[in-house]
Every structure is written in structure tokens, then in C-alpha cells.
């Protein structure tokens, strides 16, 4: 397995590393990384906001082959706090080296499973004290889950073939609800119209937003209109 | 009491997982008549190969008495790949914040009646609370769960009524199945806990469960035999090799049990 750093290529660098930096700023984190293997070509892509020196060292030493924040975390369905991996030998090996580069070992990896069984790994680290980390984690964990899948879907779609495979599959219910949103109905109204609870409406909307890689509902409506899935309101 | 077993720690809990697969065979094939594949008394399907997370319920003697299986809805899961009848051919919900729960069951033969600890009702609520708490602590907002109408009534009775359903109730072999939605909120968790009288931490530390397992199955010889069997299972590349390895494991487990009985 060869680690390909898309951050060094002109088209990848801008969007994805920028996105990671923004997440760090917004959620009060120090560094963020993302890695995944392309399910078709098998190529590994990775982006990071880590300092260049550590990135180069990491790649040169092939640390991705043993790094438990990648290898172990890929086997969880939930975000993995790195404290859970501390006891492994590989953890000591990778993080004693990270320590030499002045990098923290407090962090978490969010594993993402995609529709083709591919796995994306979204990691963040923080320099805060362990007690503060526990609090911060609780506060940002849902945002991190959303950001991780958003980033993963974007990376996968940046591959031409996968982009075609990933045409958003919205259900009739999701389309119906987006259509009601487009004509200006509230979630409560839509729930009443369709005889379902407002939270069920919200769950369908959230699913539609994520399938359309939209961050807001109005963005999702805009995309659905442009794809001809619904009529403009 | 619950133990969370996932792809990271499952090598430490092979006996518990094996007992869970056997429980699932007894419940889903023998009792409920679902169309599931059972090999050597164990119900294992392709989703078990995907490193799901299992919330497993243990009684006070650390015997497996219940379980549920969790998968992300962003990747392959049962509603997308198996239960499409429920969705009437529609694509499933897909969200970073929704997990799917399947294979929820408890051991009615081992658990007592009534509502005290080690009862069917208590274990059911403990499992439900455990799924919701694990989800909530992982940033998950909702669980979509594939259940039969009986389980749907159990949920409603346990002050844990689903807030919504997706798709329709579909015939699955001899029984019906449907997909229900539950929110991973403190409000719901507290209601389930209050209903069953569950207090304090419900998840056990890994170390405690490992120690209890060792106390139940003493002897270095035994653990070596078990790890040999597990290795054989891991190395199996064909169905045939796999079923042979399982048969060997069964035979050895039986032998060791018989030896323990005669020792005692």
C-alpha cells in the first residue's frame, strides 16, 4: 500500500486541507487529518494540517502501516478516543516519534464507512489537558461525525468514476419532504401533512442533506432543484 | 450488565461472541422462525464480517443473555442490502448521525420472569438503554431499528415507543418486520432506565469481564486450546474449512466442559 499525499498535488491541496484547517479553527482543535483508500483503484489518499516535517517523517518511515489511529480505528463504528489505543505497542512507537516533533497524543479518530465498504478515517488532535479534552470531545463529537462523512463523500466524488457511482439516491419520502420545504412549509407543517412526527421529518431532511453533500437544508433544496428532483418553490 | 464488543476488542471476547451467535440461532431460527443461516448452531451473516459493534447483555453469572448489533448507515447495512422489502424498493436513510440496530434479542429460557435484575424485561431495557447511550456518546442522534411487531410492542410497553417508522411492515419469511426510529436523547434514555429501575453505569469494564471469563474457565491449557481453535477459524478460507473449524471448537469446548464437571 502506497501512501499518496494529495496535499502535494495542486487540485487536492486547496479544498481539502483548507477544509481541515477550517474545522480545526471552528472546533478549537490543533490538527486534523483524513485518509482513505479508493475502493476502485486501491490508492490511498491523505490530507493533513500537521507540520510538513512530521508529514514527511511519517511518510518516509511508512508509519501509516502500523499507526493504530488508522488501523485499529478502522474497525470501530464509533469515534475512537486515542486513549483506547494507548496500550498497543504500535501506539508507543508512533507517538514517541510524534512527541519528538512536539505533537500531542490526545485525539480521536472518526471512522467512516462508505456505500462500497470503503473506510475513511478522520482524525483530530488537541493540546488541551485530558479533563478539558473530555469536555471538548462531548461538545464537538456530532459535528465531527458530520464533517468526517462530508469530507469523505467529497474526496470520493473527486474521483470521476466514483462520482458517477455516487449519484445521490433519494427516497420518494425524502424527495416529497424536500418539495414541501421548497414551497415554504415548516417541519411541523410537513409532519402534519404527511402524518409523521416532526423528528421523522428532520431525520429524512438530514439524510437528504448528507446524500446531497449539502450543509444546510436550503442548499439541499437548491441542489435537488438543479438536479431536477423537485420543482422550485 | 453490558459489554461493548467491536472490531478493536473482539479478540479478547471470543467466547462471549460465540455464545452470542448461539443465542441468535436459538432466538431467530428456533423461536422466531426467521429465514436466517445457521451453521453449527451459530447464526452468523455477512454483516458480522463488517466489524459491527455489539452491545451484549450479561447476567450476574457473566452468561450472555442478550445482544444487539450496530452498523453505520453511511456504509453497507441490513436496510440497504437485505431488508429492502420494508423500504418498498426505496433507498434507505443515510446519515453520519444515524446507526442501524439489528438482531436485538434476549434469552427467554435463561432469564427469569418478572421485572427484577436478570429478568427478560430488565435485560431488554438494559440493552435498549445501552444502545441509546453508546450512540449518544458517539455523537449519534437517532437509531433506526429493524424489529418484528412483537418487539415493537415491547418498545412501546417499556416507555420507549419509537417516534416514527420508515417504509412499511413487510413479510419476512414467517414473520413481519418493520423499521422504527428512536432518538438517542437523555429524555428517552432516562425513561427506559426509570421504567426498569436501572441505575448507574451499565457498561462493564473490559478487564472485569475478562477476569470473570478466566475465573469461569480456568487453566492455561484451555485458553491455549481456545486460541488454537480461533486461529483455525481465522485461517479458514472456504465454507468447509470454516465449518470444520467450528466443529472442532465445539468438540473441544464440550470436552473441556465434561472435564470440568468430572473435576467438580
Distance CA B86, CA B144 (A): 12
The full length of chain A comes to: 233
Domains in chain A (CATH in brackets) are: 3-163 (3.30.450.80), 168-226 (1.10.10.10)
Rounded mean pLDDT, A192-217: 93
Window A:121-140, CB contacts with B under 8 Å:
138
CA–CA separation, B99 and B83 (whole Å): 15
- Of the residues B212, B229, B255, the one at which a domain ends: B212
Contacting residues of B for A76, CB less than 8 Å apart: 6-8, 51, 53
Q: Is B72 on the interface with A (CB under 8 A)?
A: yes
Chain B residues inside the 8 Å CB shell of A149: 74, 95-96
Cα dihedral across residues B9, B14, B15, B16: positive or negative: positive
Instruction: Select from A169, A203, A206 the Cβ nearest to the Cβ of B91.
Output: A169
Query: Nearest residue on chain B to A209, judged by CA atoms?
Result: B95
Contact A145 B97 (CB under 8 A): yes
* CATH number where B145 lies: 3.40.630.30
Of the listed ranges A28-42, B179-193, B240-254, the least confidently predicted one is B240-254
Q: How far apart are CA A141 and CA B66, in angstroms?
A: 28
pLDDT at B237: 79
User: In the structure, what pLDDT confidence band is assigned to residue B229 with cuts at 50, 70 and 90?
Assistant: confident
Q: From CA B196, how far away is CA A106, in angstroms rounded?
A: 37
Give chain B's domain count. Answer: 2
Tally C-beta pairs within 8 A across A and B: 117
What is the C-alpha to C-alpha distance for residues B32 and B43, in angstroms, rounded to an integer? 13
Identify the band that residue B174 occupies on the pLDDT scale cut at 50, 70 and 90: confident
| Same domain assignment for residues B161 and B106 | yes
Per-residue pLDDT tens digits for B77-103: 999 888 888 998 889 999 999 999 999
| Conformation bin of residue B131: beta by default, left when phi > 0, alpha when psi is -120 to 50 | alpha
* B206 and B222 assigned to the same domain: no
CB contact under 8 A, B164 and A84: no
The whole domain housing B127 covers 2-212
Question: Tens digits of per-residue pLDDT, A155-178?
Answer: 888 877 777 777 778 999 999 999
Beta partners for A44?
A: A3, A37
Domain boundary among B196, B212, B228: B212
Q: Among A81-85, B51-55, B260-264, which stretch is predicted with the lowest mean pLDDT? A: B260-264
Residue B164 to residue A173, Cβ atoms within 8 A: no
- Candidates A27, A78, A118, A205, partner chain B, best to mutate (most B CBs within 10 A): A78
In this prediction, residue B232 has a pLDDT band, given cuts at 50, 70 and 90, of confident
Give the phi and the psi of residue A188 in degrees, each rounded to 5: -60, -45
Query: What is the predicted pLDDT for the residue at A3?
Result: 46
**What pLDDT is attached to residue A197?**
96
Answer whether B179's CB lies under 8 Å from B144's CB.
Answer: yes
Would you tell me how many other CB atoms lie within 10 Å of the CB of residue B174? 9
pLDDT of residue A221 exceeding 80: yes
Q: Is the pLDDT of residue A128 over 80?
A: yes
Nearest to B163 among A199, A204, A211 (CB): A199
Q: What is the pLDDT of residue A7?
A: 45
pLDDT at site A174: 96
Q: Please, what is the Cα angle at B211 between A134 and B119, to 5 degrees?
A: 85
Q: Which pLDDT score, from 0 to 100, does residue B214 have?
A: 83
Rounded Cα distance, A143 and A189, in Å = 27
Q: Which cell is B160 given? A: 420507549
- Distance from chain centroid for Cα A199: 24
B98 touches A at CB < 8 Å: yes
- Let me know whether B229 and B186 are in one domain: no
Which H or E element spans position A180? Answer: helix A172-182
**What percent of chain B shows pLDDT beyond 70?**
95
B130 vs A: CB within 8 A: no
Of A77, A117, A142, the CB nearest to B6: A77
Chain B contact for A173 (CB, 8 A cutoff): yes
Q: Are residues B161 and B258 in the same domain?
A: no
Q: Searching chain A, which residue's CA lies closest to the CA of residue B53?
A: A77
Is there a single domain that holds both residue B116 and residue B222? no
All residues of chain A having their beta carbon less than 8 Å from the beta carbon of residue B87 are 171
Cell of B173: 419469511
> For residue A1, what pLDDT is reported?
36
In angstroms, what separates the C-alpha of A114 from chain B's closest C-alpha? Answer: 4
Residue B70, burial from CB neighbour count under 10 angstroms (0-12, 13-18, 19+)? buried
Domain end position, chosen among B186, B212, B238: B212
Instruction: Look up residue A43 and give its three cell numbers.
Output: 490508492
Amino acid at each position: 500500500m502506497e501512501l499518496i499525499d494529495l496535499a502535494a498535488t495542486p487540485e487536492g491541496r486547496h479544498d481539502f486541507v483548507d477544509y481541515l484547517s477550517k474545522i480545526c479553527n471552528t472546533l478549537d482543535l490543533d490538527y486534523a487529518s483524513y485518509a482513505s483508500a479508493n475502493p476502485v483503484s486501491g490508492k490511498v489518499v491523505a490530507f493533513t494540517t500537521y507540520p510538513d516535517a512530521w508529514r514527511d517523517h511519517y511518510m518516509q518511515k511508512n508509519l501509516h502501516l502500523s499507526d493504530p489511529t488508522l488501523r485499529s480505528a478502522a474497525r470501530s463504528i464509533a469515534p475512537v478516543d486515542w486513549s483506547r489505543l494507548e496500550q498497543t505497542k504500535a501506539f508507543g512507537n508512533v507517538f514517541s516519534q510524534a512527541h519528538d516533533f512536539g505533537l500531542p497524543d490526545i485525539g480521536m479518530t472518526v471512522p467512516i464507512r462508505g456505500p462500497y465498504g470503503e473506510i475513511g478515517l478522520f482524525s483530530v488532535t488537541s493540546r488541551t489537558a485530558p479533563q478539558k479534552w473530555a469536555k471538548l470531545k462531548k461538545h464537538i463529537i456530532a459535528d465531527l461525525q458530520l464533517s468526517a462523512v462530508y469530507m469523505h463523500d467529497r474526496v470520493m466524488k473527486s474521483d470521476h468514476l466514483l462520482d458517477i457511482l455516487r449519484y445521490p439516491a433519494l427516497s420518494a419520502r425524502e424527495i416529497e419532504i424536500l418539495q414541501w420545504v421548497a414551497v415554504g412549509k415548516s417541519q411541523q407543517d410537513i409532519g402534519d401533512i404527511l402524518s409523521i412526527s416532526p423528528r421523522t421529518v428532520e431525520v429524512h431532511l438530514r439524510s437528504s442533506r448528507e446524500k446531497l453533500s449539502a450543509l444546510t437544508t436550503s442548499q439541499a433544496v437548491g441542489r435537488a432543484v438543479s438536479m431536477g428532483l423537485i420543482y422550485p418553490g | 450488565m453490558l459489554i461493548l464488543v467491536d472490531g478493536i476488542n473482539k479478540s479478547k471476547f471470543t467466547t462471549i461472541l460465540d455464545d452470542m451467535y448461539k443465542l441468535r440461532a436459538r432466538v431467530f431460527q428456533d423461536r422466531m422462525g426467521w429465514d436466517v443461516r445457521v451453521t453449527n448452531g451459530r447464526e452468523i451473516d455477512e454483516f458480522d464480517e463488517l466489524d459491527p459493534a455489539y452491545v451484549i447483555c450479561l447476567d450476574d453469572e457473566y452468561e450472555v443473555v442478550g445482544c444487539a448489533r450496530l452498523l453505520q448507515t453511511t456504509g453497507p447495512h441490513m436496510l440497504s442490502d437485505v431488508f429492502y422489502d420494508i423500504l418498498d424498493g426505496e433507498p434507505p436513510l443515510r446519515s453520519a448521525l444515524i446507526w442501524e440496530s439489528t438482531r436485538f434479542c434476549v434469552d427467554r429460557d435463561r432469564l427469569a420472569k418478572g421485572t427484577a435484575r436478570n429478568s427478560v424485561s430488565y435485560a431488554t431495557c438494559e440493552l435498549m438503554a445501552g444502545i441509546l447511550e453508546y450512540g449518544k456518546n458517539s455523537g449519534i442522534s437517532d437509531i433506526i431499528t429493524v424489529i418484528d411487531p412483537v418487539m415493537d410492542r415491547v418498545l412501546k410497553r417499556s416507555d420507549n415507543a419509537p417516534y416514527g417508522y420508515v417504509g412499511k411492515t413487510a413479510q419476512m419469511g414467517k414473520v413481519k418486520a418493520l423499521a422504527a426510529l428512536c432518538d438517542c436523547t437523555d429524555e428517552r434514555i432516562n425513561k427506559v432506565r426509570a421504567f426498569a429501575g436501572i441505575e448507574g453505569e451499565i457498561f462493564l469494564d473490559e478487564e472485569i469481564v475478562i477476569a470473570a471469563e478466566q475465573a469461569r474457565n480456568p487453566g492455561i491449557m484451555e485458553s491455549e486450546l481456545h486460541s488454537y481453535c480461533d486461529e483455525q477459524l481465522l485461517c479458514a478460507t472456504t465454507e468447509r474449512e470454516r465449518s470444520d473449524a467450528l466443529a472442532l471448537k465445539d468438540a473441544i469446548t464440550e470436552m473441556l466442559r465434561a472435564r470440568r464437571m468430572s473435576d467438580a
